[in-house]
Structure 1
Amino acid sequence: MRPERNDTGGFARLLGLVPSAPRWHVDWEGIWPLWPELGALDMCPQDPIHHGEGDAGTHTRMVVEALVASPSWRGAEGENRSRLFWAAVLHDVGKPATTKHEEDGRVSSRGHSRVGASIARQLLWDAGAPYDWREAVCGLILCHQIPFWLIEREDYKRQAIRTSLRCLPDLLCIHARADATGRICADQQAILDNVEVARQVFEDAGCLHAPFAFANDESRVGYFERTDRDPYFAAHEDFRCKVTLMSGLPGAGKDTWIARNRPDLPVVSLDAVRESIGERATGNQGRVIQAAYELARDHLRRKQDFVWNATNISEQLRGKPLRLFRDYDAFIEIAYLEPSRRTLFEQNRNRPDAVPDTVLANLIKKLEPPGEWEAHKVTRVVAG
């Protein structure tokens, strides 16, 4: 696959493969050859206690067939049916990369949900899927195991609220029922019971059909920082300044966006700091980050609005600067930029500090678009 491939016709093909009335037929001959990642599932073993049906490919086909037979899926409105369908097809696509044989003879695939969401993001971006549709599918894949164990957690309500900001819980429970039905195991009914209890937890929390509604932006951000925070607490909002944190891959157009939307604000740029202290991109990045943080602290102490400009492509990378801004009571906006994949590679090649295509392709694998729990406001500028 060429790194810059952007098959805009592919999304229409995906939608055309979603079963419809009156036959509700699943076209496996059309689906399975789409990506080698699906073929790899047929050679991926699973733990026999939880998956007596065998390999992950067999399980995936059973889950999809169970989903398509479900009245809840057939009655889903709008794009939800197609989102659920492709989430079911891709829900275990991360298993081949994470499956391990344990010393006791068991088989585990810890972390396959997060890895699978990342793989699905790449495949669906290649296919030209719209951002909102794609991220809805990835959210379902990321969270697809949560209904199985939610009620076993002491902080189950907190987990339910957090989940509602990543995907729609009612759709998640539809998927989870199909995931439980599409397997052979002794505790299948117990899993299905857990899913129904999870659905009730979401409903009791007021977030079954929509993300949990916080009183204001600060209430939302603060809730995910403190474990003792009441989700219904209306936090006082008195911000000392506003920080715009940029997020986007190299070539996404961050500098252009800043010039158009924040032309009068100072910019703390890791690239500019790196150049000012004479450090190479492959050199000691600790010096670069430390110098950038000192510049940011200076703005924060003076209550000066500013822009923090770096790639910030994952939640982990965004976390440290966001915590700094929070320490100074700043209003935080994340501006996330995502052009089409083809445009991204073209714009990167035209930059004076372009990164190699292979490096950019590897960075895409680490991409995690920002969520509403990370900042007071998230602005997304995406293709289409």
Structure 2
Amino acid sequence: MIWQLTNDKRWPALRQRFRWVDEMHQVPQDPRHHAEGNVGIHTEMVLDALSTMPAFQQCSPQQQEIVWAAGLLHDVEKRSTTQRDENGRIQSPGHARKGELTARQLLWRDIPTPFVLREQITALVRLHGLPLWLLERPAAERLLLTAAMRIDTRLLALLARADTEGRHCPDKQEMLDRIALFELFCQEQQCWGQARAFSSDLARWHYLTHPNSAPDFVPWETETFEVTLLSALPGMGKDRYVNEQCHGLPMVSLDVIRRRLGISAEDRTATGRIVQIAKEEARVLLRQKIPFIWNATNITRQLRSQLIALFTAYRARVKIVYLEVPWTQWKQQNANRQYAVPDAVIMRMAAKLEIPQPDEAHSVEYRVVDMP
């Protein structure tokens, strides 16, 4: 049985069932790029165009549902980002980035979706414009190979074509030509419908962190120890993972430091001080090249990148372990903890959650429990 966002795909039914679909019809677009009208009109046209495309019909039934869901959600956050610039032009800066976060929340909380499928959909939402602008950017190869680590480029090109066909604009053919060039570039870079193969995790990490490196370069193995960076919302089971999987490795824990200092979880003013203490504890272990666990939520890429930079400066290999359980189970687990985090705090954190991606570290492990 395949997953579906909904089995009733008629547009009036979608507007009636989902408030965020109905809200699309209140969001204007620049008539130069979207003469068809508002976001709702455009999104309906995108889905209509998608359903008639031979490439869509050749997809497996599950792939069709993935791309269809991404098409429905791809502009969902134009509702919160649309504004007029100094010349009166309508624009929606950052709508794809914010749309990824919203799509993840909807498909975790409201429409329980298997993790792997959910993350394919959110990646398509985040990157739906990539085929149109990739070849204009510096380091296009690196951007493409990084994207292909998290997304099926065939589905991305398909969504981009539907996004283009589902609009009225004078440069439609130019946009379709760009997508065709994107497809050729993917094939040339050996990432059409697959991630580019690297000789090892270290080779992939070296490529990602050395701007002048080539994908086929094989570096010397210099990392002699590993740091495990946990990433999960409060109540997901980080401590349980440490107890069951880490076999007595040293642990740097922000929660332990917070409790040691008698600081409430709601007191965000002390976070900087706690992190600095934790980093000093980590440096002691890093200097001695002792493997250890960094136990904290680390729910944004920016936070993780700062820690990974610290660890790799000491030539550590870094493994991110991401933990997740279904929404209802998570809420219950947090409520039953000895040190429960207030509901308002975890809701705020959930809205900011950025899932670790394969390009962030030497390796990323997903320990996810899906709905039965």
Match status 1:325 vs 2:311 = yes
Equivalent position of 1:212 in the other structure:
196
1:64 & 1:236 partners in 2: Cα distance?
Answer: 48
Equivalent position of 2:344 in the other structure:
358
1:313 & 1:338 partners in 2: Cα distance?
Answer: 12
2:219 & 2:61 partners in 1: Cα distance?
Answer: 35
Percent identity for Structure 1 against Structure 2: 38
1:223 & 1:199 partners in 2: Cα distance?
Answer: 22
Equivalent position of 1:199 in the other structure:
183
Match status 1:89 vs 2:89 = no
Secondary structure of 1:14's partner? coil
Q: CA deviation at 1:78?
A: 4.8
Q: CA contact under 8 A between 1:47 and 1:108: conserved in structure 2?
A: yes
Match status 1:77 vs 2:63 = no
1:242 & 1:381 partners in 2: Cα distance?
Answer: 18
- Superposed, which structure 2 residues align to 1:146-225 within 5 Å? 146-225=130-209
- Superposed, which structure 2 residues align to 1:80-119 within 5 Å? 80-119=63-102
Shift of the 290–148 alpha-carbon distance from structure 1 to 2, 3 Å rule, reads same
**CA-to-aligned-CA distance 1:310-340 (integer Å, 9 cap, x gap):** 0011111111111111111112111111001
Equivalent position of 2:357 in the other structure:
371
Q: CA deviation at 1:360?
A: 1.5
The amino acid that maps onto 1:202 is: C
Q: CA contact under 8 A between 2:4 and 2:65: conserved in structure 1?
A: no
Equivalent position of 1:243 in the other structure:
227
Equivalent position of 2:241 in the other structure:
257
Q: CA contact under 8 A between 1:216 and 1:235: conserved in structure 2?
A: no
Runs of 5+ unmatched residues, structure 2: none
TM-score by length of 1: 0.92
2:249 & 2:320 partners in 1: Cα distance?
Answer: 15
1:12 & 1:145 partners in 2: Cα distance?
Answer: 25
Q: CA deviation at 1:237?
A: 1.9
Q: CA deviation at 1:101?
A: 1.3
Secondary structure of 2:358's partner? coil
Q: CA deviation at 1:227?
A: 1.5
Q: CA deviation at 1:221?
A: 1.7
Q: CA deviation at 1:77?
A: 2.2
Secondary structure of 1:58's partner? helix
1:36 & 1:299 partners in 2: Cα distance?
Answer: 51
- Superposed, which structure 2 residues align to 1:335-346 within 5 Å? 335-346=321-332
Q: CA contact under 8 A between 2:3 and 2:62: conserved in structure 1?
A: no
The amino acid that maps onto 2:199 is: A
1:57 & 1:235 partners in 2: Cα distance?
Answer: 50
1:62 & 1:351 partners in 2: Cα distance?
Answer: 47
- Superposed, which structure 2 residues align to 1:219-234 within 5 Å? 219-234=203-218
Equivalent position of 1:46 in the other structure:
29
2:53 & 2:130 partners in 1: Cα distance?
Answer: 20
1:108 & 1:85 partners in 2: Cα distance?
Answer: 24
Q: CA contact under 8 A between 2:24 and 2:38: conserved in structure 1?
A: yes
The amino acid that maps onto 1:28 is: W
Which deviates the most, 259-268 or 238-247? 238-247
Q: CA contact under 8 A between 1:15 and 1:82: conserved in structure 2?
A: no
Match status 1:60 vs 2:67 = no
Runs of 5+ unmatched residues, structure 1: 1-8, 18-25
Q: CA contact under 8 A between 1:117 and 1:138: conserved in structure 2?
A: yes
Equivalent position of 2:103 in the other structure:
120
2:341 & 2:20 partners in 1: Cα distance?
Answer: 27
Secondary structure of 1:53's partner? coil
Give the paired residue count: 367
1:275 & 1:356 partners in 2: Cα distance?
Answer: 16
**CA-to-aligned-CA distance 1:238-292 (integer Å, 9 cap, x gap):** 3221111111001100000110001311110011122233444413222111110
Q: CA deviation at 1:14?
A: 2.3
Q: CA contact under 8 A between 1:242 and 1:332: conserved in structure 2?
A: yes
The amino acid that maps onto 1:143 is: L
Match status 1:14 vs 2:12 = no
**CA-to-aligned-CA distance 1:137-166 (integer Å, 9 cap, x gap):** 001110000111111123211111111012
The amino acid that maps onto 2:25 is: D
The amino acid that maps onto 1:48 is: P
Q: CA contact under 8 A between 1:241 and 1:300: conserved in structure 2?
A: no
The amino acid that maps onto 1:191 is: M
2:191 & 2:91 partners in 1: Cα distance?
Answer: 31
List structure 1 segments (4+ residues) > 6 angstroms apart after TM superposition: none
1:30 & 1:131 partners in 2: Cα distance?
Answer: 26
Equivalent position of 2:16 in the other structure:
33
Q: CA deviation at 1:294?
A: 0.7
**CA-to-aligned-CA distance 1:186-223 (integer Å, 9 cap, x gap):** 11111111111111111110001101112211121222
Secondary structure of 1:307's partner? strand
Q: CA deviation at 1:15?
A: 5.3
Q: CA contact under 8 A between 1:245 and 1:333: conserved in structure 2?
A: yes
Secondary structure of 1:255's partner? helix
Which deviates the most, 138-147 or 356-365? 356-365
TM-score by length of 2: 0.95
